[in-house]
């Protein structure tokens, strides 16, 4: 009963327009104070929720994403992607997807990807004759590759709250990420044929080579980050520091898009961007504590045991549940509230923690696409100047669901690389 009141209070606050972090904090605090929990415990829980060495990676990767956007990295990557694939029918749509694949190895943030690439590519696509819903939809869908292929901020948060190996999650996301890339390239190909979208100019090697050299320093970032983790040179947190320092070096020494005197302004932007997810994490610690006090976890566990003893069925139910939650709740909040309930159950069912982690991350990121509250779709549709309800996203959603089912039924997809390299 307490859990129902807690969720009702949260939903009521969200419906009247209270920001997610504030709604989580208020609903959790009211429930705990009504249960007689001392108010100082609330402050301790909020501080404890963000007092993590692992979570220190989050501000560094966000800083790296902000710096790379300001240093011209996105532009050079998209130019190189155009040289490789822009000549095909629907070329700019293909460039959109390939650019996200390249960008994924550097920023770890789907929001940074859709904001930076969207401002460059959505107006360009619409000018070339692509319809606005498709331009926004493929940009939003491609952006979540950034959260599945490492380094990924959502993987860092997932690993921090479930004690799952972040290095293992990083390597486990590579194959599903490339599968999503392939599926979206196929989707663009089919839609371009059906709708007769334009193709770009084919460039020869002499034209491509200088563009490649310009983009090469940025393309080396994933090797630097994953190589450091693979060979034990850096932890994932230290890799975030390496990514931020490397981004500064690119901006100042290689591309010369800003000077050291601009760093204060850029780091201030990164601090503001970091404050939002960290506040959500702190607020979710209060809500999650209230949920645990209510006994909701035991209810979920007993329900699952009554429904099935099959780990495949359990993963299918978890996928369906998180997919539905993603329709109404922001992904970070959903991760922090519900994953601590499902992760121990996955272990009890014998599901490898890395396989389950990648499945849940894919499901959570799918929630950032689905209207009415999908963040990536909202940003892309806003750039395109259309309602989020008009965005052409459902073909991509089908692709993501199929990949999720493959992750469930073919464990090799997520387990081969971690078992080989970690």
Query: Are 281 and 49 within 8 A, CB to CB?
Result: yes
Q: Residue 355 contacts by C-beta under 8 Å, 6 or more apart in sequence?
A: 172, 407, 411, 414, 415
Over residues 324-328, the mean pLDDT reads: 83
Residue 80 has pLDDT above 90, yes or no: no
Work out the mean pLDDT of the chain and round it to a whole number.
Answer: 86
Residue 82 has pLDDT above 80, yes or no: yes
The per-residue pLDDT for 404 is 96
The per-residue pLDDT for 97 is 93
Residue 178 has pLDDT above 90, yes or no: yes
Dig out the tokens for 55 from the structure: 């979570």
Give the closest residue to 356 by CA, choosing from 203, 220, 180, 165: 165
Query: Are 273 and 58 within 8 A, CB to CB?
Result: no
Residue 89 β-bridge partners: 199
Whole-number Å distance between alpha carbons of 204 and 11: 56
Binned at pLDDT 50, 70 and 90, residue 177 comes out as: very high
Binned at pLDDT 50, 70 and 90, residue 70 comes out as: confident
Residue 52 has pLDDT above 90, yes or no: no
Binned at pLDDT 50, 70 and 90, residue 217 comes out as: confident
Dig out the tokens for 333 from the structure: 């909040």
Give the closest residue to 181 by CA, choosing from 85, 266, 272: 85
Dig out the tokens for 329 from the structure: 């709740």
Whole-number Å distance between alpha carbons of 364 and 310: 23
Give the closest residue to 339 by CA, choosing from 361, 317, 324: 361
Query: Are 128 and 121 within 8 A, CB to CB?
Result: no
Residue 33 has pLDDT above 70, yes or no: yes
The per-residue pLDDT for 355 is 96
What percentage of the chain carries pLDDT values higher than 90?
27
The per-residue pLDDT for 187 is 94
Residue 199 β-bridge partners: 89
Whole-number Å distance between alpha carbons of 269 and 285: 25
Give the closest residue to 62 by CA, choosing from 312, 339, 270, 316: 270
Binned at pLDDT 50, 70 and 90, residue 144 comes out as: very high
Query: Are 84 and 90 within 8 A, CB to CB?
Result: no
Over residues 84-88, the mean pLDDT reads: 85
State the angle between helix axes of 20-34 and 263-293 in degrees (0 to 180), rounded to the nearest 10. 30
Query: Are 367 and 323 within 8 A, CB to CB?
Result: yes
Residue recorded with tokens 């909040």: 333
CB atoms within 10 A of CB 34: 12
Dig out the tokens for 138 from the structure: 């493929």
Q: Residue 367 contacts by C-beta under 8 Å, 6 or more apart in sequence?
A: 322, 323, 325, 326, 327, 329, 331, 334, 374
Binned at pLDDT 50, 70 and 90, residue 297 comes out as: confident
Dig out the tokens for 192 from the structure: 């371009």
Structural element, H or E, at residue 287: helix 263-293
The per-residue pLDDT for 190 is 92
The per-residue pLDDT for 1 is 61
Cis omega (within 30 of 0) on the bond before 151?
Answer: yes
Each residue's pLDDT tens digit, 345-355:
999 999 999 99
The per-residue pLDDT for 186 is 94
Cis omega (within 30 of 0) on the bond before 372?
Answer: yes
The per-residue pLDDT for 173 is 93
Whole-number Å distance between alpha carbons of 122 and 14: 30
Q: Which of 268-282, 314-328, 329-343, 399-413 has the highest mean pLDDT?
A: 399-413
Residue 303 has pLDDT above 90, yes or no: no
Whole-number Å distance between alpha carbons of 173 and 179: 10
Over residues 24-35, the mean pLDDT reads: 85
Q: Which of 241-245, 292-296, 332-336, 381-385 has the highest mean pLDDT?
A: 381-385
Whole-number Å distance between alpha carbons of 415 and 371: 32
The per-residue pLDDT for 362 is 95
The per-residue pLDDT for 290 is 85
Phi, psi at residue 131, to the nearest 5°? -75, 150
Residue 239 has pLDDT above 90, yes or no: no
User: Coil, strand, or helix at residue 16?
Assistant: coil
Residue 422 has pLDDT above 80, yes or no: no
The per-residue pLDDT for 46 is 85
Query: Are 273 and 59 within 8 A, CB to CB?
Result: no
Each residue's pLDDT tens digit, 105-132:
777 778 878 888 888 889 989 998 899 9
Q: pTM of the prediction?
A: 0.89
């Amino acid at each position: 009963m307490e859990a129902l009141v807690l969720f009702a209070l949260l939903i009521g606050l969200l419906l009247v327009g209270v920001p997610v972090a504030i709604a989580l904090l208020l609903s959790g605090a009211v429930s705990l104070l009504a249960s007689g929990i001392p108010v100082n415990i609330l402050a301790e829980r909020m501080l404890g929720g963000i007092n993590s060495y692992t979570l220190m990676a989050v501000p560094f990767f966000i800083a790296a994403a902000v710096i790379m956007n300001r240093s011209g990295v996105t532009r050079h990557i998209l130019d190189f992607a155009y040289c490789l694939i822009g000549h095909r029918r629907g070329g700019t749509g293909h460039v959109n997807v390939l650019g996200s694949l390249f960008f994924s190895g550097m920023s770890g943030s789907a929001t940074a990807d859709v904001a930076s690439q969207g401002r460059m590519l959505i107006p360009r696509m619409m000018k070339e004759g692509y319809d606005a819903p498709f331009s926004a939809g493929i940009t939003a869908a491609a952006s979540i590759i950034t959260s599945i292929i490492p380094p990924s901020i959502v993987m860092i948060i997932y690993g921090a709250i479930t004690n799952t190996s972040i290095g293992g999650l990083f390597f486990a996301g590579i194959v599903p990420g490339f599968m999503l890339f392939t599926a979206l390239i196929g989707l663009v190909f089919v839609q371009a044929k059906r709708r007769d979208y334009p193709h770009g100019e084919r460039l020869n090697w002499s034209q491509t080579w200088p563009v490649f050299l310009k983009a090469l320093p940025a393309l080396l970032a994933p090797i630097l980050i994953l190589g450091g983790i693979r060979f034990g040179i850096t932890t994932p947190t230290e890799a975030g520091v390496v990514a931020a320092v490397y981004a500064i070096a690119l901006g100042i020494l290689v591309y010369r898009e800003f000077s050291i005197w601009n760093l204060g302004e850029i780091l201030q932007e990164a601090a503001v961007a970091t404050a939002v997810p960290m506040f959500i994490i702190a607020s979710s610690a209060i809500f999650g504590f209230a949920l645990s006090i209510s006994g909701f976890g035991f209810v979920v566990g007993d329900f699952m045991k009554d429904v099935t003893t099959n780990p495949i069925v359990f993963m299918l139910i978890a996928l369906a549940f998180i997919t539905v939650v993603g329709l109404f709740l922001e992904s970070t909040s959903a991760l922090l509230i519900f994953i601590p309930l499902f992760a121990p159950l996955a272990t009890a069912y014998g599901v490898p923690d890395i396989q389950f982690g990648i499945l849940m991350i894919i499901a959570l990121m799918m929630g950032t696409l689905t209207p009415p509250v999908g963040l990536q779709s909202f940003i892309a549709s806003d750039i395109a100047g259309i309602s989020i309800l008009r965005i052409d996203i459902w073909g991509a959603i089908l692709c993501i669901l199929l990949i999720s089912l493959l992750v469930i039924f073919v464990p090799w997809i997520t387990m081969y690389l971690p078992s080989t390299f970690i």
